[in-house]
A and B are shown apart, each in its own frame.
Chain A
Amino acid sequence: MERERKIKVLIAKPGLDGHDRGAKVLSFGLRDQGMEVIYTGRRQSVQQIVNSALQEDVDVVGLSILSGAHLTFFPKVVNLLRENDAGDMLVIGGGIIPDEHIPILKEKGVTEIFGPGTLIKDIGDFIRKNVRKIA
């Protein structure tokens, strides 16, 4: 089925980590691919991220952390989305995530993790393939 509106993506930086080059580059890149992208800026709490996601009714939440706090933050975002009946939003993550943490995060509901060197066209393809269908 054809989507009636652009895919809407929220790119968010949970926690105190300020390394947002990747988040910004991804925001620009996905926008260039025709998606509507909202970047939250730095230092977002889980609640703030989920509020923005719900308010904007996004299809995708992309979380970026380079500080090692991903095991705490990513699952919290997934859980709070689910509690708010938004479990169908696609949650993906990026940053410096050790390989051994990827299965843990996937098990907790993060659909995919994209590490350094990932091409944005691959992330775009992944989103288009896995995003929720809209009636």
Chain B
Amino acid sequence: MHVDKDLVAASATPLVLAILSEGESYGYAILKRVRALSGGELEWTDGMLYPLLHRLRRLGYVTTEWRTPPEGRRRKYYAITDEGRAALAEQQQQWVAVTRALNDVWPGSGAVLTALGEA
């Protein structure tokens, strides 16, 4: 299944914030997590993640830090801030509202959408 580009873009922010709320991470790991979560159905161009991360940083939703892990290269880590968590909570409510509305007019797909909405 191919998920519409606009939908991918709209879900990118809450998805990244949610992943970061599990703990700090870096670009490549975030992308892998996105792929794993969506079972490969959300197609991201890898490069697009970075402008998004930079935007989140400008809005104060995440902080960044360059660190060199013991085994590897210097790498930029992103961590969510309290503001980021607040924004995530806000986005969650919006998505719940959207999925609930869709749920009501799409009989039959209810179970899936409920799972999505309340997640």
- The finding on whether chains A and B are genuine partners in a shared complex, rather than unrelated, reads no
